[in-house]
Structure 1
Amino acid sequence: MKIIQVHSKLNVYLILFVTLLVIVLPPSTAAISCSKVSSALKKNKSVDYNDLKKCLESFPFNAKLATETVDAVLHFLSNYYVFYDRAREDPPSGFTYQPVDLKNELDSIRKKKFKSDYDFTITLRNIIFKLKDGHTSIFNLCYQRFNYDQGLSLYSVVTTDKKKKKKQIIKVLKDSVDSSNNNCEVIEIGGKPALQAIIDFANDTIQYSKDLSVRFNMALAPSKSQFLRELFQQFTLREDLPETSSIKYKLTCPKKKKPFILERKWKITYHDGFDGFSYSCLEQNNENISNGKTSRDKITKSTLSNKFKTSNSEDLKIAHAKELAAGSLYLLNDKSKTGVVVVDEEQSSDEDSYKDYFQELKKHGTKKIILDMSNNNGGTITVAIFLTSLLFSSKQPNAFPTDIILNNLTISKIENSFKTNSTVDDLYNPNVYLSFPFGNHFNSSSEFIGTQKKRTSNLYFDALTSDEKELLKNVSFPWTSDDIIIITNGFCASACALISLFLSEIHKVRTIAVGGLLNDQMSFSTYPGGQIISPDTVSSSVGDKIADVPGKNVLSFTVREAYDFDQNYTAKDVLEYSYKPADCRLYYDEKNVKDPSLLWLEASKILNNEVKC
């Protein structure tokens, strides 16, 4: 009995001792790091790189959740991703990317034991990024909402030396920390020749184009001051934790005698500040946040209702054109009578504005038109059809043929929708589609499904709405294909790509690509794939047993593909995997990178046959 009492007392003492240890011992390094991250965000200060790295890597790897995530991602991509099989093939000549066997690559990470949930998430994300498909990505609502900013804008310039030999260099467009570095040449980045460092980054890291020259442009500052922050300057503005806490740049400046090293740390903030970080990361749970799902295919923009007002943007320099509509419509200050329409997105609310722009140019007696479609992230599919119909109203068809992947679930949904005469606007409802090329309604579900093994028959994209058809009534413009030219920096994406490709391929409108790598041909558009969708939308439509990707990972992917077609309206090449270089090429210099109207003047000379490409 006494022995029992002694043991009982020892147990009490042990409990007290352990309790004291818990109280006295400091919290873990990871907890301290997350606390420091939270503290910095609360005070609206930059987060320390090492604190953030330790914090992100402190979230434990959950093998069960990881397996469920891989299962869900593979399920949706193998059953609905329209390029699942094609991604395994070697790239066509002109494109630069590696083939991706999604099944093998995703299966391979099931066997790995990751150090942290963050490590697993980045590995999964990098597999999807290899596709170089801007519509297809996976985004973590905790880890990928940090912003990493170097405070530098870099750009590429092509110069000509005394021997008239062209050379491509990297320069500082703007240093928001030290303006004395503006216009300096960047000789090295991280000990590597600067140009090569940017090329390697564009090749390995950027996902949004299969063309390396377009990705190269996206690594740097765009040619216009109004741009999408998350899609440009990706070398100095990132959304994934960089490999190092700082980058060393070797600069040479006109006003400084010797080259010098500039070491720049990352300024780190969180997209939604402390509250967002606390909710998404510190209070992490395994539920999906449906209202957090985002799509890169659509962006918001201030309304164009104040059309024909002058822009008061201090940053935008347009010295060689008269502005007719703020940031959107110009007349060149030369004798060519050339107008410029800036098409920077495709939103249905802008259709009447675009119509007004062309009517305004007609009133001014404009002879030629430049369509500047640079930095265009896409938008609504029918707007692409509307714009091509607006310029070439008498031509049919007015869009590319498309198709959708078929499986047992989607076939069942297609057949049921046709049987019930459903009019619900749904991806797998044949009643909301028209057949290519003549725009007829489908007479049966089997006609919609067609004779292809894994794809539907050829479909139009989306039919024009009644409002769009009304806008197109009694429209007549004097311009032919020879009077129009398209200029882009290669990032004319999604719906923009479909417009520019249709005008180029079908109506033979000439194209100009700006920037990119010296002496390489370059695309004037990127990821025309077709249509972006999320797993929950597909799942709710067809009744899939898997509702979505678990956790905080938001998956999106291409669900419909578009094809080129020949004179007999027979579908040919898949546009996403077709290399379509521009007819003509221009490069940036110290002046035109800051003033796009200088590029417009060069485009006008090409358009008016004053110079050859």
Structure 2
Amino acid sequence: MVQLMNWAGWITAVSLWTGIYAQSSEDILSVSSRSFSTTTRDSLASETSAVSLAAPTGTGQPCGRIAAAVETSSSSYRVAVPAELAYECLTSVPLRPLAALATIDGIVKMVQFQSNLAYLKNPPDGYDNPPVDILGGLADIRNKASDNEYANQYDFEAEIATLLDSARDGHLGFDGITYAGAVRWRRDIILVSLSQDGGPSKIYNLVDFNHTSSPSPVSRIDGEDVDAFLQEEASRVAYHDPDARWNSLFYRLPAQNFGYFGIPRWYPGPTTTISFENGTEQTYTNRAILQEENSWSDVSDGDSFYSIFVDPSSARTVRRQASLRTAPHVPTRLQQVREILDDGDADVPVGYPEPYITGPTEVYINGYFMDHPNIRNLAVLALQTFDTETDADARRFQSLIEQFLAEAKSRGTEKVIIDLQSNGGGRVFLGYDAFRQFFPDIEPFGGGRYRAHESANILGTEFSRLSFSQNGVGYTSPFNYHSYIDSSNEPFTSWTDMYDGHVINNDNFTNILRYNLSDPNLTSSSTYGDGITITGYLDRSDLTTPPFAASDLILLTDGICSSTCALFLEFMTIEAGVKTIVLGGRPQDGPMQPVGGTKGTNVLDADYLTTFSGYLISEFADNATERRAWASILPVPFPIRAYEASVNFLDNIRRGDEGMTPTQFTNETANCRLRYTAEMATDPMALWGLVADVAWGGQGGGIDEARCVAGSYRRESWLEAPPVSSGGSDAEEKNGEARTGAAAANVNANGLDVRWAVAASLVFVAGVSFL
């Protein structure tokens, strides 16, 4: 058994790895240190360069002063400036009205592909968030821009981001470079939410546990009650579940992430003042970590910032282009960025024991076997992501799970914990494969659908004319009916057969779609698929016996589970009946959902949509009139640089749900909720031991209800008592009989990235050149 470092030693190690800086009353940048101070309230911050701003050589403008600091920096670390200075720079960037109006028009075209607009505007009963009219909100922003009501580019971009974030769907967003791409905000304090006595949690400064065995809880932040302040901060996070939003604010060991309080997506103000219950108080200067530092050298003011960072035609900026083999891309809103990096094995989280099964850094999966007083050889599979960079990494991911299960069986393992804490998703077919490795005898439903609208119909009508011999990418795209099969595993006969589906909640949708997992072009092809054959299909169809019964498995989450993670959990719980335990949540009793992130199953990036549309306009239009008509409808490149822009393309629709409500709008609670203690938050082995005790220590070997947070225990699995849809509007079927169907999109997504990305150099064999 590996001895873990104690809390104090671990905090020391964190500070050594992340760097500690001091602030003075002078206008200086962060000063990095590699030593650990035990005499002051230490800061936890990313390593940054030491550069003085006392005598800048720039223009005197805020942006110019930052540029001067970058020029005089000789450090290899990121440059950090006071947050107030960065905010002054960003809010000095002028708004160019024509570009702003065209940006909104472009976002409206992109958002037409958002699968659940009608449900966001008119959510079913039981949904935890208020309605939001995305298209109406964009119209309001356009009107304000037209009336010159925005003082600067930053305020304009911030309002767009805030509107789309209010959808609580991590696949939907538009983050402009001024708002989200030029700097990353930092508070110089990291918080944790812990229960000392099993009661409601309190908030602590993480490093205080290195100074005293009895750290004082935080009582107020910037003069406001700590819980009220943090609830307001959490409301700005894009998770749909309020408990997941709460958890996302704090340090999380599995993700090696300091949380949104320490690393907010929004400007946190110039300082943060923390008051403690023992009467002490500390004020911290907030900072901004510069991104794309090489682009700052010619910045002198807000106008030059716009030219260099915002204008997409600038040669100084880098734009991610859609391509045939786009690497898997998890939207930043879902990424659990690892802020702590060890000089040693980066594939194992800092503070974790050495795993028995582990992958390289690119394949973040680890398997453990541990002794337990009441369980023979307890096993833990830690899956913090389904995201891999390459097809080879995807195959390695598949192989590691296979190795883990084989080793578990050879050891006579009785129980398995599947730890999904802070899992932002990844490749969708890795979620399918992981499920089928545990349950090769169950065919997952995986039903989906997308929104039917004019742009989709134009793309689908035209691309459905293509055959595979003409071009495999176009043939297997999401806008070609050949990519899909119906619920009876039969192909659709035409684009109209697939596309003309249902009117539900006053909006139009395709028929239900499923992935054809027996199609090698979709799965095992390295050209069109993910480069893996999913367990249970093709040459892996001989695996038919589950290695463990559902009752011998437990799923562990902290609510921060999105996209492919949500789909995997859906399969494990709804299809197989595995139970769930969830950690943390708001300082109150009651249940909590194990999935707090998006439950959508495929993201489409704006670059993909504009590339595909551009090809269609240039090559498929019969004449100039048709080209102009299509260009007025289909997505086109934005006139400003987007740091990130995407939509959720596919809803997840549950088997047997006659109302066909997207699972994003259903409320499913875990079987048991536990509060974090200090030991659980810093010692994975202690956490897993407790989870095992709770999961199998109750009556009849089931969950120990007495150890769950009051009001959070649920006896039945979701298979035994399926969650009820949160309502939903009556469906008027567009073509008569409703069709349960199935989607076979050629996807490389976690519900996340798409392998439908198109290469500008692709050429059709049948005489049609691609762009």
Correspondences of 1:453-472 after superposition (within 5 Å): 453=503, 454-461=508-515, 463=517, 465-466=523-524, 467-468=533-534, 469=537, 470-471=539-540
Q: What is the DSSP-based 3-state SS (H/G/I as helix, E as strand, rest coil) of the residue aligned with 1:329?
A: strand
Residue 747 of structure 2 corresponds to none
Q: How many residues align?
A: 556
**Cα gap change, 1:311 to 1:73, in 2 (>3 Å):** closer
**Further displaced range: 326-335 or 509-518:** 326-335
How far residue 312 of structure 1 moved from its aligned partner, in angstroms, is 9.0
Query: Could you tell me which of 602, 614, 620 is aligned with 1:531?
Result: 602
Query: Counterpart amino acid of 1:384?
Result: G
Instruction: Measure, in 2, the Cα distance between the counterparts of 1:540 and 1:46.
Output: 36
Match of 2:696 in 1: 608
Q: 1:356 aligns with which of 403, 413, 419?
A: 403
After alignment, is 449-458 or 64-73 more displaced? Answer: 449-458
Tell me what 1:200 maps to. 232
Equivalent residue, structure 2, for 1:329: 367
Query: Within the alignment, does 1:541 sit opposite 2:612 as a pair?
Result: yes
User: What is the 5 A alignment of 1:192-591?
Assistant: 192-203=224-235, 205-207=236-238, 209-224=239-254, 226-227=255-256, 229=257, 233-242=259-268, 244-252=269-277, 258-275=278-295, 283-287=308-312, 290-291=319-320, 295-296=330-331, 315-318=350-353, 323-325=356-358, 328-334=366-372, 335-337=374-376, 338-346=378-386, 347=388, 348-349=394-395, 350-396=397-443, 398-422=444-468, 423-424=472-473, 425-436=476-487, 438-453=488-503, 454-461=508-515, 463=517, 465-466=523-524, 467-468=533-534, 469=537, 470-471=539-540, 473-474=542-543, 476-517=545-586, 518-525=588-595, 526-542=597-613, 543=616, 545=631, 546-553=635-642, 554-566=644-656, 572-591=660-679
SS of equivalent to 1:238: coil
State the Cα distance separating 1:336 from its structure 2 match. 0.5
TM-score (ref. length: structure 2): 0.67
1:54 aligns with 2:54: no
- Alignment check: 8 A CA contact 1:389 1:395 kept: yes
1:90 to partner: Cα distance: 4.1
Q: Which runs of 5+ in 2 are unaligned?
A: 1-55, 300-304, 323-328, 339-343, 360-364, 389-393, 525-532, 617-629, 699-703, 706-712, 714-771
Contact 1:80–1:405 (CA<8 Å) still a contact in 2? yes
Q: Which residue identity does 2:264 align to in structure 1? A: R
2:463 and 2:106 mapped to 1: Cα distance?
26
How far does the alpha carbon of each residue in 1:541-584 deviate from its partner, in whole angstroms, 9 at most, with x for none? 35352412220123211011111122xx8574311111111111
| Partner Cα distance (1:400, 1:570) in 2 | 15
Matched, 1:168 2:201: yes
Q: In the alignment, is the contact (CA less than 8 A) between 1:561 and 1:574 conserved in 2? A: yes
Against the structure 1 CA distance between its residues 378 and 313, is the aligned structure 2 distance closer, same or farther, given a 3 Å change threshold?
A: closer
Q: Which has the higher helix share?
A: 1
- 1:577-597 deviations in whole A, cap 9, x for unaligned? 111111111110111111122
- 1:68-217 equivalence runs, <5 A: 68-77=102-111, 79-90=112-123, 92-93=125-126, 95=128, 97-112=129-144, 113-145=149-181, 146-160=183-197, 166-174=199-207, 183-203=215-235, 205-207=236-238, 209-217=239-247
Contact 1:92 1:579 in 2 (8 A): no
Q: Secondary structure at the match of 1:219?
A: coil
Could you report, residue by residue, the CA deviation over 1:83-121 in whole angstroms, capped at 9, with x for unpaired residues? 1111112464262x3211122211112232211111111
* Distance in 2, Cα, partners of 1:182 & 1:547: 58
Structure 1 position 536, deviation (Å): 3.1
CA distance 1:445–1:74, change in 2 (3 Å):
closer
Q: Which runs of 5+ in 1 are unaligned?
A: 1-26, 253-257, 303-308
Partner AA of 1:206 in structure 2: V
Checking the alignment, whether the CA contact within 8 Å between 1:381 and 1:461 is kept in structure 2 is no
Report what 2:759 is aligned to. Answer: none
Counterpart code for 1:170: I
TM-score, normalised to structure 1's length? 0.83
CA contact (8 A) 1:381 1:462 kept: no
Deviation of 1:276 (Å): 5.9
Aligned residues of 1:310 and 1:323 also touching (Cα < 8 A): no
Distance 1:571 1:357, change over 3 A: farther
Aligned equivalents of 1:443, 1:263: Cα separation in 2: 66
What is the identity, as a one-letter code, of the residue corresponding to 1:406? A
| 1:31–1:55 contact (8 Å) kept in structure 2 | no
Contact 2:336 2:424 in 1 (8 A): no
Superposition RMSD in Å: 3.1
* 1:142–1:31 distance in 2 versus 1, CA, 3 Å: farther
Question: Distance in 2 between the 1:139 and 1:277 partners?
Answer: 23
SS at match of 1:427: coil
- Does the 8 A contact of 1:172 with 1:181 survive in 2? no
Residues 358/276 of structure 1: CA separation in 2 closer, same or farther (3 Å cut):
farther
- State the shift of 1:260 in Å: 0.7
CA distance in 2, matches of 1:374, 1:272: 31
If you compute each CA radius of gyration, which structure gives the higher value, 1 or 2?
1
Structure 1 pair 399–541 and aligned structure 2 pair: CA distance change class (3 A)? farther
Find the aligned partners of 1:182 and 1:274 in 2 and give their Cα distance. Answer: 46
Secondary structure, counterpart of 2:207 in structure 1: strand
TM-superposed CA distance for 1:314, in Å, is 8.2
Residue 295 of structure 1 deviates from its aligned partner by 4.2
CA contact (8 A) 1:563 1:571 kept: no
The answer as to whether partners of 1:91 and 1:98 remain within 8 angstroms in 2 is no
1:426 touches 1:432 (CA, 8 Å); kept in 2?
yes
State the Cα distance separating 1:250 from its structure 2 match: 0.8
Cα 1:264–1:299 change in 2 (3 A) is: closer
Shift of 1:412: 3.9
Match of 1:559, SS state, is: strand
Identity %: 17
Residue 127 (structure 1) shift: 1.0
Task: Provide the rounded CA distance (Å) in 1 between the counterparts of 2:641 and 2:655.
Answer: 40
Q: 1:584, 1:540 → 2: CA distance?
A: 46
1:45 positional shift: 4.5
Q: Contact 2:558–2:582 at 8 Å: present in 1 too?
A: yes
Q: Which amino acid aligns with 1:105?
A: G
**CA–CA distance in structure 2, aligned partners of residues 395 and 92 of structure 1:** 31
Q: Quote how far apart the aligned CAs of 1:383 are.
A: 1.2
1:605 and 1:196 map into 2 onto residues whose CA distance is: 34
1:169-227 deviations in whole A, cap 9, x for unaligned? 10122379x96799442111111121221112102x111x1110000000111143x43
Shift of 1:341: 0.5
